[in-house]
Structure 1
């Protein structure tokens, strides 16, 4: 089978003008499930093909297996486990998971629920007297940042410093040398180095000292797989610091935007808080925080939907497109919290299924229930709102709402 090229569609998706609504363009992509691009990369956009390749052992997450290097990837530091393959990926993920979830710390998320609710309550208390609120700056950003700083042992007062670094990192993910200024890439690479140095300084203080935060535990833990090196700890902390709040900010903000666009569902949630569990799963399908895995590599020639993808080729996985695939989901462009069999790709699939997914789910569930319960008749100020630059981690950069001040 010969792959049909769709060069214009991907470029339009990556263009900022498409950020408010990329979904019609995803529908165009799905006409060709595996689409060869002008630069030799392949775009996969349909649910069946995405789930298949996410579980394919011939697919590599290690950028060193690409035949053409990506400028935006920094090779100077130790990669995080998300950018490694088995067995190294499995070893490092197990070592981190010992302190982050089952089976060794199964009560981590449920044990935090009281604290999560309290943080949300304090943030909403801060809305008092305000008729206009920015859901991002006033709520969706400070909430998960406070949580991940506490978990990692990162001083909350340092947030302005790493906020700048994280923004530069995220903005450089989709760097295109043909269209983007070189400064975009250089800012991202410099931010990576600054963040590594910052985390390395925190780590130095933790060796040989007791503590409950994740940095301290990783610095002093000798489990079945031994102990991480300092470079591996820094890479893991870097990943968790960024992923631990970026995806949740988008999920909460996209969730509130979707509820404001669907007032009947908003009122249902206010009357029935238990609805939030399937509702968040539908959000992860309908308006996910992560739209694209911007690269994977083929260990060897692989065949997907009859198309041979050569060894070393760059592969882009359009997760958000797969979760709107009408061959998998009935009426996929409708937001339906009562949807059954909702095996979305909102947190990926396979061995790289989102490490912090359980925490992000619970944070979002608590956040949306409390926002809907306590905000009286919230109204969107602008629709669509302004979006963040990244097509990979997609969400509003601001979400202004008006309400009756209380």
Structure 2
């Protein structure tokens, strides 16, 4: 799953897995045994099943008398410290999600359209005269990090540092270099603590100030929850959208007739973004879940305490759900993809990612009618991480 070939062409690899065994057990995955689900029906069922829980602090309790190895404990420690929407179950999850959900409604996000368009235009103005750019570094990254930073009230000067930290954390998520991972995480958390201290002294109209005020209004948002929530919003608020824009443009380069269709008919932008989410799956693998009891799926018994991952990119290319899933079709109508997940953990930022994608692709195609790749496809490199499908760079000319 980490090879350049699978990152480049995931559909063929996961088609073989689905045919061989759509739900299978791996002895050593993230330092522990884990189930991997690859077909659409199983993936959606697991994502919506409340018996699969997200709170990894319950691992020891779920395992009962089974011994947890030192390596597994070290791996779990990387995830289990967090107490945010992605790592908790009801009722904590319900309370945490409620605190920020009103900011991410489609109506509230639509009010950001003019600002997102302005940021987009400024980024493209900055490169238009040079005739080329790295689409990832010069556009796909700065657009969403600027938007989420403004929502959170984070100073402009600090934003590039987030890219360094999040890339280090994502790249080392599966690494055994725990010291380097810990260093990046400690620096990130220290920054958030300083940010909280500053916002307590000088609150504003931003989301961080709002979360602090919620905490102080008796909403029981403790310090760990506050730090975890801001960490999640920073990372999820930009990293996945970077991949949507980068991977999406690469897909359009590979399907020039689709790119021309979209350029000539901007009304297709909403359906195009949905198809690019399905086809490129910016998030490859879900975060882990635990079976809270013995659960039978098909003829496979998932024991209480065992870890389960679902492969979103595989579910999104399952021919049992999608007609000709290996083809990009921006006019596709039946498109119940799982790029944002399903169930109670459905991505809160989905309206924001959709809007950023629509503005970004629309502006790129209209501003640069001769937009093209500025390297050979085989020169592109993908980040070797399980969770995301991320291009290191995408050189383009126009």
TM-score of the alignment, normalized to the shorter chain, above 0.5? yes
Contact 2:26 2:34 in 1 (8 A): yes
Match of 2:88 among 84, 90, 106: 84
| Equivalent position of 1:26 in the other structure | 14
Contact 2:55 2:80 in 1 (8 A): no
Match of 2:26 among 29, 37, 53: 37
Q: How does 1:7-406 map to 2 (within 5 A)?
A: 13-31=1-19, 32-39=21-28, 40-66=33-59, 67=63, 68=68, 69-72=72-75, 73-74=77-78, 77-98=81-102, 100-102=103-105, 107-175=107-175, 182-183=176-177, 185-207=178-200, 209-221=202-214, 226-380=219-373, 381-384=375-378, 385-403=380-398
1:362 Cα deviation from its structure 2 partner? 0.3
- Unmatched 5+ residue regions in structure 2? none
Cα gap change, 1:223 to 1:353, in 2 (>3 Å): farther
> Distance between the aligned counterparts of 2:376 and 2:135, measured in 1?
13
1:224 Cα deviation from its structure 2 partner? 9.0
User: Which piece of structure 1 moves more, 58-67 or 131-140?
Assistant: 58-67
> Distance between the aligned counterparts of 2:214 and 2:372, measured in 1?
49
When normalised by structure 1's length, the TM-score is 0.89
Q: Secondary structure at the match of 2:104?
A: coil
1:174 Cα deviation from its structure 2 partner? 2.6
> Distance between the aligned counterparts of 2:239 and 2:359, measured in 1?
17
> Distance between the aligned counterparts of 1:350 and 1:229, measured in 2?
25
Cα gap change, 1:60 to 1:388, in 2 (>3 Å): same
Contact 1:174 1:392 in 2 (8 A): no
Cα gap change, 1:65 to 1:27, in 2 (>3 Å): farther
1:230 Cα deviation from its structure 2 partner? 2.7
Contact 2:57 2:80 in 1 (8 A): no
Pairs aligned (count): 380
